Amino acid sequence: MTATLIDGKAFAAKVREQVAGHVTRLKEEHGITPGLAVVLVGEDPASQVYVRSKGKQTVESGMNSYEHKMDADTSEADLLAVIDQLNNDPAVHGILVQLPLPGHLNEDLIINSIAPEKDVDGFHISNVGLLGTGQKSMVPCTPLGCLMMLRDYHGSISGMNAVVIGRSNIVGKPMAQLLLNDSATVTIAHSRTKDLPGVVKQADIVVAAVGRPEMVPGDWIKEGATVIDVGINRIERDGKNKLVGDVDFESASKVAGAITPVPGGVGPMTIACLLANTVTACCRANGLAEPEGLTA
């Protein structure tokens, strides 16, 4: 391996420490405790793990955590009523509805019913529009974490060629927007892209967010490029369960200049950024200065 390892686990710990510092300041100087509400509908095992982890880290950072667990057959009206209650609760500064939702619920409708200023996921159409026009918004957590690591490693990414593989609303599209707002030259590649290897080869920065295990081999990567691997894929190898990214780490780390590992790269940054967004939302709600370095 020749690439520098971008240690997301250590970076996330630093972000959480900063968040905890701001929480202490909000409590001591203003008598305000930031609060994050997480809504989980159904019993998807992966979602349950994420929600538990979010609740734990919220409390560890000194904030209040509110969990709303609802049955898989919850009606749209009942879910909307819970969101309405949270929208109007002054103790709640951030609201996250865990995705995916059961099939009978309209995800767009639900997400767009969250008050935009409490939408710590940054998925509400108002936040998407604000981000797209370079205005102050709530920024989706995973892309925000990737941006923080890129800014930390490069200082500035202005003028660099960035290729984002994947066009999801949660990662690919907001990631591309953030890179563009930082003046990178951005290409969004996806399953229909012609000559994907050739496109990736042009990139100084590769962000892989497709959800396909080890899809990007080292020989697609330009020598010295920075590789951010968003994928978290569970595979079985040699009879053992293993987590791998969307990038073939073994071969890519021999060519890249810097790379995030899986696990321990982008993953831990997502929840750290959720906590950061909650503090940001709390400061905005109370007309206080926002913490520096925790937003885009």
Minimum gap (Å) between residue 170 Cβ and ligand GUN = 6
Query: Which residue in 18, 57, 98, 177 is the catalytic one?
Result: 98
98 is catalytic: yes
Q: How far is CA 192 from the centre of its chain?
A: 24
Q: Which is nearer to ligand GUN, 100 or 224 (CB)?
A: 100
Q: Which is nearer to ligand GUN, 38 or 163 (CB)?
A: 38
Query: Which residue in 57, 118, 119, 121 is the catalytic one?
Result: 121
Minimum gap (Å) between residue 123 Cβ and ligand GUN = 7
Q: Which is nearer to ligand GUN, 98 or 295 (CB)?
A: 98
Minimum gap (Å) between residue 50 Cβ and ligand GUN = 7
| Residues lying near ligand GUN in the complex (CB under 6 A) | 96-99, 121, 141-142, 170
Number of Cβ within 10 Å of residue 91's Cβ equals 12
Minimum gap (Å) between residue 227 Cβ and ligand GUN = 21
Minimum gap (Å) between residue 113 Cβ and ligand GUN = 14
d(CA 65, CA 58): 6
Give the DSSP per-residue string, 185-252: EEEEE-TT-TTHHHHHHT-SEEEE-S--TT-B-GGGSPTT-EEEE---EEEEETTEEEEE-SB-HHHH
Tell me the sheet residues that pair with 235: 242
Number of Cβ within 10 Å of residue 212's Cβ equals 14
d(CA 182, CA 203): 16
Tell me the sheet residues that pair with 67: 38
Query: Which residue in 18, 54, 177, 246 is the catalytic one?
Result: 54
Q: Which is nearer to ligand GUN, 256 or 273 (CB)?
A: 273
Q: Which is nearer to ligand GUN, 87 or 202 (CB)?
A: 87
Number of Cβ within 10 Å of residue 177's Cβ equals 23
Confirm if 80 and 113 have CB atoms less than 8 A apart: yes
Q: How far is CA 156 from the centre of its chain?
A: 20
Within 13 Å, how many C-alpha atoms sit on residue 73's CB side?
0
54 is catalytic: yes
Q: Which is nearer to ligand GUN, 140 or 261 (CB)?
A: 140
Q: Is 35 exposed, middle or buried (0-12, 13-18, 19+ CB in 10 A)?
A: buried
CB closest to ligand GUN, residue no = 99
248 is catalytic: no
Minimum gap (Å) between residue 105 Cβ and ligand GUN = 13
Tell me which residues are annotated as active site.
54, 98, 121
